[in-house]
Each structure stands twice: as structure tokens, then as C-alpha cells.
Chains A and B, each alone.
Chain A
């Protein structure tokens, strides 16, 4: 299911003294099966944009195409459930959305809202809890007894249980320890590869973009100012630094090597790429 934005603008509280514009003429495309990253400063419109992905907000101008649904400013608020089922959003700090008395019920809540029977929903809960790396002993516990990281996993399982085709992640690893962060990102990567889930990732961590994404959009002040594959976008090191967005660590390191006289045909994005390059060069010099 492709998602396409055509000249989308969004204004908060139009025609009041508190009017403020969050998005200007956004054109972007999230292809089926892709892993798209959205980067940009706080307040650049990322959160507003991602709320358009499952019609929590409707554009003030323009069209959002979600699969074969066209969302325009005039779209009715009814019959949006099918869209919301297909596009699951994991908001920032999703542990805040837990409320049921057991983990199982909480995960089953989403599917049940979309008409899945209770037994099936509980089955889904079991399956998705395993997917996020918690064993069955957690099913009957209260979500409020768990640690922050475990709560986060339960909340994410709750979104996954709706079996969305597109998974939107708003800084899913914010506030997690390094190991939790790594496990979480690898779990999403597995889902992306194995279940062919389209992923939209909003993040400040350029290394995550370099490691996982195959497309990246850069937002500034409500506009898309750059879009392309990370390999292309991260070549503009100076431009990105000027925008105070930074580049992946490996790219930064390679850039410093370049100022010292080393030549790269193409700046590496990940530590592995950089290591490969060094090994190759070393072999060449020896040989």
C-alpha cells in the first residue's frame, strides 16, 4: 500500500487568533515495502505529518492518498477505521497508552476495536508479545507492574497486534538504554524484512537512518527540503551540518579523514562500510 502526499498543507486552528501553519505544500511518497525515515528539527512538522498518515489529521489543502483512499479536506470523519487498521502508529513514549488490567487484554484491545473476536485477539496478543521479546509469563500481569522498557514493548505489541501494513514509528527508542534500543530497532528490521511491513521512522538518530532506511526525507519549518536515499543525502555533510542535523558517525569520521587528505569515492554511512573500505585500501597498499 503506497502512501502519497500531494501538495499537502496543514494549519492548526484556522481562522482564529491562534492560527499557525505546520505544513507547506508537502509532496512525498512512501512506497509499499519501503523503510522511509523522516528527519528534521523539533517543530519541523514531523509529528503533524505523521498524524496525516492514518487520518488523525486531515489536510487543510491538498490530498493524501493512502492506498486507494483519497483523503481531502472534505473527507468525512466516518469510515476511517479501515485506514487506521492498515496504518499502525507507535507514538512517542507509547507506554502512556496502556490502561487495561492485564498485558494480554491491553494488546488485544486494538484488534478488538477492529472487529476481531476476543479469542482471536488474545491469540494475537500472545503472538505479538513473543515478537517484542517478552515471554508468556507476562500475559496475565498488570502493565503497570512492568519496567518502562517492558511497558514500551507491550505498547508496541498492542500496535503490532492490529497487523498493520504500514508501521509508523515516532522515535520508538527515545529514553531506552543502548541494548534496548538495539533490540528494538532490530525487531522492527526483522518485521520489515520477514513480514514485508512498510516502515516510516521519525528519528533524530542519523545512525539508525544509515543502518536501516532506504529512503529519507529531511523536513525544515514544515517543508520537505531534501529527499532521497541515505547514500545520496548523507554525502552533503556540510549542508546537513549547516542545518544542524548531523550525519552518521561513520560518515562524520570519514569526512574528517577526507580533510586530512584521504580520498573517498563515496562517503561510507556505517561502521561496517568504513571498515570494509579500510581493509580494501590496506590490501591495495600492501599489494
Chain B
């Protein structure tokens, strides 16, 4: 029973991923693509969680937190590049 539910949710998450890939390819502006990438990271977190339940292992729990942190840092770096033109500044008071 629980296995069927997990498989169905995995299919739904994969469908959501396809929608995000459509926005990533089609997106008219760069911020559209960045938001799509960030949502793909969150989606990947849920896919990993469902998969770790399906495989009945707790070894993927570190991966979930890792993907969350990396998606946050990546999105922030992209946002700063779009806003200021450079990712890491030497002196922000200049």
C-alpha cells in the first residue's frame, strides 16, 4: 500500500520536474530560469526523500540537507550576479 502511494507521488514529482524543465527552456527572461532552477532543487529534495522511503534507508538524509543548502547558495549567487553584475566583490563600500 505505502509502496504504491510512494510510487504515485514519485510520478507526480517527475511530472512537476518536467513542467519546471519546460519553464527552464522556454523562460523568456533569466530570472524565470533562475526561479525554475531553484524550484527544481526543492523538487529534487522531495524526490530524494520519497526515494529514501522507497529504498528503506536513512543514508540519503544528508543528501536532502546538502541539496537544500547548495540550491540556496546557488540561487543567491545567481540573484547577486543579476543585481550587481559581479558575484564576489572585493570591497562593497566602494
B partners with A: no
